Structures are given as structure tokens and as C-alpha cells.
């Protein structure tokens, strides 16, 4: 059963490593490297893919799978439970209500966009708190300790952080869904592709896996004021600028709350944390810092 569940990483469209997202990232990376031949050496080098930090990511990816099953998932509540609770509380307090001023298509569009905006907004703030609150930073530092970036680095996350982001997801999605069910009843549904919110699917298909890579894909400055480019997220993983670019998909939150760095502002940077490296899986889990 565990083996079959592990395959979900690659066959479940809700996972970052879904095979279509991987293929699209490879396609975009190939085009990028053809246009930037000087960057082929580092991106195709064994020194990158077999770097001690990368191999630690691969090992931790396997271990974290079991940690999620045994530790994280049993603790979390589901978005459906939160939605039911929210709808019940609203009904008990305000009585039965059903708004009929919108068509089913309008409701679908409104629900899809609202889900995306609320989820991305709450993700921005939790991510920012993970950096600014010293206790939370101890857990989030695990993710930033990576010296090189590969798509697997996305999963270099301490179990406590997984739990916090899991609660964030359930609460934000559940509360929005409960409110929409209260107002619109059975008409509530979102626009999706392969079961994924269409906005998130487009984001993933356009190279979300390149965020954790050394493909320095940049957007025009005006686009980077709205959407976080892969290179902007790589900036976030640098030693010098890790307190910038907290946004998940939208850069608007960073722009409005003064934490945005554009690709064009950064000429050189080094990844990881200053003088700190996790050497093994226990270092990651026990939050041990080792000096170089």
C-alpha cells in the first residue's frame, strides 16, 4: 500500500512532481539552455545533481514520505470538515440563506478565483512568519539550508512546517468553501483541469518545478510585479536575500508589503544559509546546525 501511495507523487495532479509538470519543466528548461548555452555546464553537471546537499534531499524525500503518513496526516484536519463546520455555524447563526443573483458559471469563476487568492495570501503570510518568528524559523531553516536546488528540494521541509502549512491549507480552503456553500448551496464548484484548480494547474504547467533549480528563468519586470518567476524564488533561497519574495504564485503580496526583489536587481548570489549546512537526515529533523 505504501509503495502505491508513494507513486501518488508522480501520478497525482495535486503533487508538484506530477509527471506532466515534470515534462513541462524539462521542456522549458531545454529551451532555456538552448538559448543560454553558457549555463548548460552547471545545470547538466554531476556536481549539481550529486552534490551532498542534493543527495541529502533525495534521501530525505523518502524518509519524509513515511513521516507524513505516520506523523503529519493523522494530526491534520481536512478542508471538507472545516467547510462543513463553517457552513453549519453560519446556518445556525444566520439561518438558512441562498443567494440567487449569480449564474452557476459566475459562481464557479468567483469561487475558483477566491480559493486561489485566499490560499495564496495565507501562504504568503505563513511563509513570512516562518522567517520572522524565531521559533518558526528554526523549522523553516531546514528548507533554506540546501546548498543546491533541484525539484526534490521542494520536499526538504521539517514535519512541523508540513503540519503548519497543512492546517493553513485546510482552514483557508475550508472556510472559503463553507461560506460559498452557505450562500450558493449545491451550485458551488471550481474550474479545474485534471481535478486541480485551473489557476494552480497553469502555474504548475508553466514550470513551477524550475523554482527549485538552477534554471534562471526570469520574467519581464512588470510580470514579476504580479507573478513570482522561478529566478525570484531562487533569490529567496540565497544567503543574502532570503527575507524577500515570500509569495507562492503571486508577487503582488511582496510588492504591497515591501518584500519584493526583482530578477534584474540581483547580479550574483550564493544559495543556502551563511556558514550552516545540514550533513545528514538527523540534522534536518533535530534542527542541528553544523559549521563549515
- Domain annotation covers residue 212: yes
**DSSP classification of residue 76:** P
- Domain annotation covers residue 234: no
84 CB-contact burial (10 Å; exposed 0-12 / middle 13-18 / buried 19+): middle
- Domain annotation covers residue 130: yes
138 CB-contact burial (10 Å; exposed 0-12 / middle 13-18 / buried 19+): middle
**pLDDT for position 289:** 66
**Cα(44)–Cα(59) distance, rounded to whole angstroms?**
21
Using 50 as the pLDDT threshold, list the residues of the chain that sit under it: 1-2, 291-292
- Domain annotation covers residue 6: yes
**pLDDT for position 277:** 66
User: Domain range spanning residue 199?
Assistant: 2-218
- Domain annotation covers residue 271: no
Residue range 26-44, pLDDT digits in tens: 999 999 999 999 999 999 9
Contact 227, 183 (CB under 8 A): no
Tally of structural domains, the chain: 1
| Stretch (H or E) spanning 193 | strand 192-193
**pLDDT for position 1:** 46
- Domain annotation covers residue 28: yes
**pLDDT for position 282:** 87
Residue 19's Cβ-side half-sphere holds a number of Cα atoms within 13 Å equal to 4
- Domain annotation covers residue 245: no
Residue range 175-201, pLDDT digits in tens: 999 999 999 988 899 898 989 999 999
- Domain annotation covers residue 33: yes
Return the closest-CA partner of residue 269 out of 133, 182, 147, 142. 147
**SS3 category, 2:** helix
Amino acid at each position: 500500500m505504501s509503495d502505491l501511495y508513494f507513486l501518488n507523487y508522480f501520478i497525482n495532479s495535486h503533487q508538484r512532481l506530477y509527471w506532466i509538470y515534470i515534462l513541462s519543466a524539462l521542456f522549458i528548461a531545454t529551451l532555456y539552455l538552448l538559448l543560454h548555452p553558457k549555463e548548460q555546464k552547471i545545470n547538466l553537471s554531476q556536481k549539481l545533481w550529486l552534490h551532498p546537499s542534493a543527495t541529502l534531499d533525495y534521501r530525505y524525500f523518502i524518509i519524509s514520505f513515511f513521516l507524513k503518513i505516520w506523523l503529519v496526516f493523522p494530526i491534520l484536519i481536512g478542508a471538507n470538515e472545516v467547510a462543513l463546520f463553517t457552513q453549519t455555524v453560519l446556518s445556525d447563526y444566520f439561518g438558512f440563506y441562498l443567494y440567487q443573483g449569480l449564474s452557476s458559471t459566475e459562481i464557479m469563476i468567483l469561487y475558483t478565483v477566491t480559493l486561489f487568492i485566499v490560499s495564496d495570501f495565507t501562504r504568503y503570510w505563513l511563509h513570512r512568519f516562518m522567517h520572522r518568528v524565531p521559533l518558526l524559523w528554526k523549522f523553516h531553516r531546514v528548507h533554506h539550508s540546501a546548498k543546491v536546488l533541484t525539484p526534490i528540494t521542494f520536499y526538504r521541509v521539517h514535519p512541523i512546517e508540513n503540519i503548519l502549512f497543512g492546517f493553513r491549507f485546510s482552514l483557508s480552503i475550508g472556510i472559503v468553501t463553507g461560506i460559498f456553500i452557505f450562500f450558493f448551496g449545491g451550485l458551488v464548484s471550481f474550474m479545474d483541469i485534471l481535478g486541480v484548480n485551473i489557476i494552480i494547474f497553469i502555474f504548475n504547467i508553466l514550470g513551477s518545478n524550475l523554482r527549485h533549480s538552477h534554471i534562471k528563468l526570469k520574467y519581464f519586470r512588470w510580470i514579476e510585479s504580479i507573478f513570482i518567476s522561478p529566478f525570484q524564488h531562487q533569490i529567496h533561497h540565497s544567503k543574502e536575500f532570503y527575507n524577500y519574495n515570500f509569495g507562492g504564485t503571486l508577487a503582488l503580496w511582496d510588492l504591497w508589503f515591501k518584500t519584493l526583489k526583482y530578477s534584474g536587481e540581483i547580479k550574483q548570489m550564493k544559495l543556502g544559509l551563511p556558514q550552516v549546512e545540514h550533513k545528514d537526515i538527523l540534522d534536518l529533523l533535530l534542527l542541528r546546525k553544523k559549521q563549515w
